[in-house]
Amino acid sequence: MINSKDFFLALDQLEQEKKINKEFFISALESALTSAYKKNFGEARSATVKLNPEKGTIKVLAYKTVVDEVNDSDKEISLEDAKKIKSSYQVGDIVSEEVTPKSFGRIAAQTAKQVVMQRLREAERNNLIAELDAKGDQITTAIIRRRDANNFYVELSGIEAEGVLNYKDVIPNEKLEIGSRVKVIIKRVKETPFGPEIQVSRTTPNFVQKLFELEVPELTSGEVEIKSIAREAGNRTKLAVFSQDANLDPVGACVGARGARINAVIEEINGEKIDVIRYSDDIFEYIANALSPAEVVSVEINQEAKSSRVIVPDNKLSLAIGKDGCNVRLAARLTGWKIDVKSESTLEKEEQDKRVQEINSTIDDNIEDDLFEDIETV
């Protein structure tokens, strides 16, 4: 028997300091110490190591089967010898006896140190992952520490782990310098052979939403709700907001006095344009609002196809569509509806062409009727 009270006191201290239940270590230690014993004192032996935290002891117990005639002394014991240990033993019973070598203390100490350190790293990794899961989709401050061909590596505030900011998660055209501070959102935690990799981003729609939540108390309190958000990072973001309180303007709350709140968000995202629009259950109104800042004349919808045709003044067509179609594309994402934008003059021309076709069709029909009448007369 090895008296290892100091060892168990160390486990108790780990439990208090690291908040890791010592039972987390016990089974792993017993398995590792058993392997260490067999490696040093004979693989053939049927033995196991038992730890007793209450008594502060480590024992090596060998197990042998009671037989009439012993063929393998490592695994068998004669009935005669077994009865010397306990008179009630019969053939086929399993006898256990302590076989702890005097030299096992040093081996046990080395093995235990390795196992505890490994388990400690596992526990800390698991705790970190649990902490990050709880912080998922939360804004945190990052300090750019270094970079390589694909990533920035950042120090995350309040998290004892390095974050990875891939270049595709950086807002287009923004320049990040080593040592600079930026806000990021935790995108995902990826397991790697070297431990958890914390991937962060500045380009997700949720990043803008969380920035608004930092600036707008009414969002945190629930007085204002973000119903939908669509974003093309570096270009434009559209935000649909709503409030149950008729006396509260949700758009005004997000914009803030003299634009203070929205400007703080815009500054953080490198000057990206933001449209805060009022959400409506009326799809006609919602689609018209989503095309902001363009003015809308009318909205027609096809409920089955979930598509719409929006008419805008001629001088607002380019504004409604946006650069490279960005505005109408984001409006479609925001509402979940297909949106086809046409100018008033285009609509008028289409209607004129349609009327001409109808007139021509009527004329053709009349000519055909007259022709048949002439043939019948003949």
Residues forming beta bridges with residue 242, ordered by sequence position = 225
CA dihedral in degrees (37, 43, 46, 50; nearest 10)?
20
CA dist 85 and 240 (Å) reads 81
Residues ≥6 apart with Cβ < 8 Å to 103: none
CA dist 371 and 163 (Å) reads 83
pLDDT per residue rounded down to tens, the chain (378 residues): 455 667 777 778 877 877 777 777 787 888 888 888 888 777 666 788 888 888 878 888 888 898 988 888 878 889 988 888 888 999 999 988 887 777 777 777 777 777 777 777 777 777 777 766 666 678 889 999 999 999 999 998 877 778 999 999 999 999 999 999 999 998 888 777 776 788 999 999 999 999 999 999 999 999 999 999 999 999 999 999 999 999 999 999 999 999 999 999 999 999 999 999 999 999 999 999 999 999 999 999 999 999 999 999 999 999 999 999 999 999 999 999 999 999 988 877 766 656 656 666 665 555 555 545 555 554
Q: With H, G, I as helix, E, B as strand and everything else as coil, classify residue 68.
A: coil
What are the CA-CA distances from residue 215 to residues 183, 210, 221, 320, 337 (Å)? Answer: 13, 9, 12, 28, 30
**Residue 221, pLDDT score:** 95
Mean pLDDT score across all residues of the chain: 85
Residues ≥6 apart with Cβ < 8 Å to 288: 296, 299, 310
185 sits in the region (left: phi over 0; alpha: psi -120 to 50; else beta) called beta
What domains, with CATH codes, occur in the chain?
2-128 (3.30.1480.10), 139-201 (2.40.50.140), 204-279 (3.30.300.20), 285-378 (3.30.300.20)
What is the model's pTM?
0.66
305-332 per-position pLDDT tens digit: 999 999 999 999 999 999 999 999 999 9
CA 38-43-46 angle, to 5 degrees, is 80
**Residue 30, pLDDT score:** 83
19-39 per-position pLDDT tens digit: 777 777 787 888 888 888 888
